[in-house]
Chain A
Amino acid sequence: MSSMEHTQTATNAEQQLPIRYAPTAVTDDAAEAGPRRILVLGATSGIAEATCRLWAARGDHLFLVARNADRLHVVAADMRVRGAGYVDTAVADLDDTTKHAELLAHAVNSLAGLDLVFVALGVLGDARESERDFAEANRILQTNFVSVVSLLTWLGNYCAQRHHGTLAVLSSVAGDRGRKSNYVYGSSKAGLSAFVAGLRNRIDREGVRVITIKPGPVKTAMTAGMDIKSGMADVDDVAATLVKVIDKGSDVVYVPGKWRIIMAIIRAVPEFLFKKLNL
């Protein structure tokens, strides 16, 4: 475990920041079934953090994984204060697929089971750099596709064996069509969407729900440098939608919903025309 810098923040942080707050009774439907055990991969991403706050507020149990220890520490503190019934964390660079099995087994052990996995790791990368240099393209593909395939292979099999669990995976509308502006990121998400669809079709019959989530641009740290004048979704609105659709929703979810229509149109444009557009 030491190689993964696993931190027992549940105990360490109790000493630093004594949380004397007992969560108040939560009244929504999902919580009446008792707290859910949720594993969040990429927990410091903007969308993951906003969504975790809503789960924390209803008393769910969280195991949070992220690369940066300082950031993970404050996100975990925030979830505890907001009412999460249990919070444990692990600092890990998920690009290293050789450590995945050990990490996931530890997370499942810490949560004493698994009801939901939210896969939210990903990088936007530098689109211009990735056109010039395969190293950047490879970094994007490794994080957004290869690593997630590795994680989902283990998690898919784990849940299928137990006939229980939901896997919610953040892909992107960018994966719906290769566009000149960011096709490396787009193709990493296209590959991911295809993989997740296949996994769903394989293990749905085992009683495991697999959800592909395709957000449009969302106002987060990831998109802070993007020159989009308007139309960026608010991360708290996206989080509220995600909590609903992960509770009970369809297989492929666009957030906000308008992107289902926008992408249907974009997919319908013939390639000879599309290549002349500046999308």
Chain B
Amino acid sequence: MPMDPETAPVRPPFESWGRYPSYDATLKPLYWQGDFPGALAGAHSGALPVGMGRSYGDVCLLKEGTLLPTTAMNRLLDFNAETGLLTAEAGITLAQILDFAVPRGYFLPVTPGTKYVTLGGAIANDVHGKNHDVAGSFGNHVPCFELVRSDGTRMLCSQKENPDWFAATIGGMGLTGLITWAQLRLQPIVSRMIDYQGIQFHGIDEFLDLKKQYEQVAYTVSWVDCVSTGKNFARGIFMLGDHSKVPAQLTTTPKPKLVFPFNAPGFALNRASVSLFNTFFFHKQMKPHVSTLQDYEPFFYPLDKVLHWNRMYGKRGLLQFQYAIPWEHAKEGTEAILKEIAKSGLASFLAVLKTFGDIPSLGMMSFPQAGIMFALDFPIKPNISFPLMQRLGDMTLEFGGRLYPAKDACMTAPQFQAFYPKWQQFTRYKDPALTSSFWERVTASEGAAR
């Protein structure tokens, strides 16, 4: 029987992956494509469709509002085994798509570092993967989708039909309406395995040289030691891979999951422990260059193995800082920001350095742009973390870059509006019934249209 929207319980608080901020919200799960916009009844403080809540900050939160979880809308609607074109409801997760597609010889065209995100969420944040240089971002592989507005309008959106709505919704942070279903162009594979290589480097120049040397490899990403200074400054491991061309078994073997069992105490994460970890991680790879065959799971999703790994950062949660700086200032910007971080005394385990290629994103508000992308997360230490995030945000702006809304909990309205100059154009496509805490934050101080 259909649920009664009026009696859906309030379950405070609702957290995003960074666990900061967290807000009370009413949850009204959507089970069927037709449940929206009816589920908006009584949503006086606005509503927001949400998927798995794997965004880090408040782009998937709405303080005191109504969240519309979509994960029960996870049906497969069509699959063409010859072309790899998949049509599915938007609440399906990338993990569920992989479970279906890999045994049939297909893989996601682009995948972020977790498979626990929904198809709709991947479009709404126009997520990117390790193959951005050769494949662009997620939206580049979505031929079309259906968008339903709160007034009941249903629109088929593609580059030909309703192209402006298509552009606004890719990277549109879930604010243009509900994506009910979408098409996705999968890529063929013949094996689960990845031809993997790991190469040590010292400094941004060496990283860029390696990138150039291996530009024909599909997937590249680097881990960087952001604690060490002096001769070890910006040392790291360049990791690269391609889908193995050697035909092999494609079936999935379910593996037991580890669950990070408790909230780590605040003292567990400090500069000394991270420094130790980084030194260990750098030298864990004994040789400067290793080459091996690896399953796609640990290659793409090393952290998914540990459910709730965000608990490692304790109850206070974590802040993620992720920027894209265009080539013009990429090297000097990255070095300056790395120095600023080292100076702050804050430490990050998960510092990821990558390049973005020049395939343009289809989204009006998409984050990826050609240049260097850098991401890291900090434990929350109020007196240090927030001022540091402000400084890093301002530096990013100076170097012509921008921050990623899906990972952000700190950017100011002036920063956002400078990062995303098309934001005013975007407001024309925003659904009046939908909003997010992120959107309220980054548009509030300018008295922007909501």
- Chain A residues at the B interface, C-beta cutoff of 8 Å: 17-22, 24, 46, 70-71, 74-75, 77-78, 81-82, 123-126, 221-222, 224-227
Q: Which residues of A contact B100 (CB under 8 A)?
A: 81-82
Among B1, B31, B72, B80, chain A packs the most CB atoms within 10 A around the CB of: B1
- How far apart are the CA atoms of A66 and B32 in the complex, in Å? 14
22 contacts between A and B (CB under 8 A): A17-B78, A18-B78, A20-B81, A21-B104, A24-B103, A24-B104, A46-B72, A70-B34, A74-B32, A74-B33, A74-B75, A74-B77, A81-B78, A221-B29, A222-B1, A222-B3, A224-B3, A224-B8, A224-B28, A224-B29, A225-B4, A227-B9
B33 surroundings in chain A (CB, below 8 A): 70, 74
- Verify A78–B81 contact, CB threshold 8 A: no
Question: A125 near B1 (CB under 8 angstroms)?
Answer: yes
Within 8 A of A (CB), among B367-389: none
Taking A81-B79, A224-B28 as given, write out 7 further A-B residue pairs in contact, using a Cβ cutoff of 8 Å, ordered by the A residue number: A18-B80, A46-B72, A70-B32, A75-B75, A81-B76, A82-B100, A227-B9
Complex: A200 Cα to B314 Cα, angstroms: 55
Query: Complex Cα distance A1/B178, Å?
Result: 36
**Pairwise interchain contact B79-A21, C-beta atoms closer than 8 A:** yes
Known contacts A21-B79, A77-B78, A78-B77: does B72 contact A221 (CB below 8 Å)?
A: yes
Interface residues of B in 310-359 (CB under 8 A from A): none
Main secondary structure of the interface of A (DSSP, over half): loop
Q: Render B28-47 as a binary contact track against A, CB cut-off 8 A, 1 for contact.
A: 11011110000000000000
Chain A residues with CB under 8 A of B256? none
- Where the two chains meet, the residues of B that have a C-beta atom closer than 8 Å to any C-beta of A are 1-4, 7-9, 28-29, 31-34, 72, 75-82, 87, 89, 100, 103-104
CB distance B2 to A221 under 8 Å? yes
A43 and B89 alpha carbons, distance in the complex (Å): 18
The CA-CA distance from A176 to B346 in the complex, in Å, is 58
Q: How far is the CA of A81 from the CA of B34 in the complex (A)?
A: 21
A221:B31 contact, CB within 8 angstroms: yes
Bound state CA distance, A155 and B240, in angstroms?
Answer: 59
Which residues of chain B have C-beta atoms less than 8 A from A123's C-beta? 1
Q: Which residues of B contact A126 (CB under 8 A)?
A: 4
A22 in contact with B81 (CB, 8 Å)? yes
> Smallest distance from the beta carbon of B69 to chain A beta carbons, Å?
10
Complex-state Cα separation, A125 to B4, whole angstroms: 10
Contact A19 B79 (CB under 8 A): yes
* B64–chain A nearest beta-carbon distance, Å: 19
Partner pick for A17 among B29, B77, B82, CB 8 A cutoff: B77
Chain B residues in 8 Å Cβ range of A124 = 1
Query: Which residue of chain B is the closest to A227 with respect to CB atoms?
Result: B9
| Complex contact B32–A71 (CB within 8 A) | yes
Report how far A227 CA is from B76 CA in the complex, Å. 30
Q: In the complex, what residues of B have CB within 8 A of residue A224's CB? A: 3, 8, 28-29, 31
Which partner residue on chain B sits nearest A78 by CB separation?
Answer: B75
CA distance A278 to B78 in the complex (A): 48
Which residues of B have CB within 8 Å of A71? 32, 34
Chain B nearest CB: distance from A135 CB in Å?
Answer: 16
A251 CB to nearest B CB, Å: 28
Docked pose: A22 CA to B76 CA in angstroms: 15
User: Would you give the shortest CB distance from B143 to chain A, in whole angstroms?
Assistant: 15
Q: Which residue of B lies closest to A143 (CB)?
A: B1
Distance A152 CA – B103 CA, assembled complex (angstroms): 39
Partner of B78, one of A19, A22, A225: A19
Nearest B residue (CB) for A74: B75
For A20, give its contact among B8, B32, B80 (CB under 8 Å): B80
Most buried by A among B2, B31, B32, B75: B75
Given A24-B104, A221-B31, A224-B29; A81-B77 close (CB under 8 Å): yes
Q: Closest CB-CB distance, A141 to chain B, in whole Å?
A: 14
Which A residue sits closest to B29, measured CB to CB?
A: A224
Q: How far is the CA of A233 from the CA of B34 in the complex (A)?
A: 25
Q: Which residue of B lies closest to A224 (CB)?
A: B3
* Complex interface: chain A residues within 8 A of B31 (CB): 46, 221, 224
Contact A78 B3 (CB under 8 A): no
- By a CB distance below 8 angstroms, the chain A residues around B9 are 225-227
In the bound complex, CA of A71 to CA of B1 (Å): 12
